[in-house]
Amino acid sequence: MKQQQIKNITRLIATALLLGSVGVTAADEATTAKPVTEQLVDTMTKLANGPYKGFRANHAKGIMAEGTFTPSAEAAGISKAPHLQGVATPVLVRFSNATGVPTIADANGNAMPKGMAIRFTLPDGSSTDIVAISVNGFPAATPEDFLGLLNAVAASGPDVASPKPVEQFLASHPAAMKFVSTPKPAPVSFATQPFFGVNAFQFTNAKGETQYGRYRIVPIAGAQFLTDAEAAKQAPNYLMDELPVRLGKQEAQYRIVLQLAEAGDSVDDPTAIWPDDRKQVELGVLTIKSAVANSQEAERSLMFNPLVLPDGIAPSNDPVLLARPGAYAVSYGRRLAN
């Protein structure tokens, strides 16, 4: 087994140990009658030793910013969606750390992958969202397999003999092993972190031409990361503190790019990473101008939903994509109730 794989498996087990491993109880068994989306939220909450009042079950720690999206000349040829027709659109952006722990250190390995959610305010007052993470791919092709991974992490406590459940799960699920083995270095800034859309969408232009694509969000400042030694020296909130300071001096920009599928590419499996030689079309430039005041309060009542889509963009049949709004809604309801 490669050293990077060992390192990342150890990190997953550390998640169970540091965030709180949970054994299976009669109450846990009763939860199997719940929808998978609710079980996902339950398990994430247990892993984080939550719930934490007012916070998300995953990507709990975050910061919001605002700016504009300016579409490229090529964007309208891809989709008739209103925010791709040549006029700048206001946006809200939320950057976040992984896990449901709102105090997790930004450079902690368990805080990867980072998240980026973008809300576009459309001309008629409605909105549409993009949800992305800082890794190209996903560890599971279905919500059930993702729940299996989380439960394996939760069951890999300090008193569990090796091979622990998480080691067994990864050994039998190559996509999860690949995701875990992918290096996830801490970024210098959220403004230097690339992000990837996990799921594919169908794009239709005014001529009725359709094609599938996945989003890539590329920092114009370039991808910049810390070494392990540099990351170990960072303050717990270094990313959350750095972004407002950066934006106070200059705007941060990203190119939103669409990687287009070719014949034979799976559009319904988030673990299937398309080759880098697939055509990419720039949809436009995202310009982040300022941090949102009172970010934590502002984000509490905000739920991003990748399936709120305008005419010209439609979901694929990816089961992970179709399950996202249900899981988000469970987390959102609990967040508002606490």
Task: Select from 270, 334, 266 the least CA-distant residue to 300.
Answer: 334
Question: Which of 198, 213, 191, 204 is CA-nearest to residue 286?
Answer: 191
Q: Write the DSSP assignment of 181-240 as a string of letters.
A: HS--PPBS-GGG--EE-SS-EEEE-TT--EEEEEEEEEETT---B--HHHHHTS-TTHHH
255 contacts 71 by C-beta, under 8 angstroms: no
197: nearest Cα among 122, 144, 129: 129
**Which residue among the candidates 46, 59, 184, 216 is catalytic per the annotation?**
59
Structure tokens at 199: 């799921």
Q: Contact at 8 Å (CB) between 143 and 176?
A: no
Show Cβ contacts of residue 126 under 8 Å, excluding neighbours closer than 6 positions: 308, 310
How far CA 184 is from CA of 63, 107, 109, in Å, comes to: 20, 10, 8
- Whether 59 is catalytic is yes
Active-site positions read 59
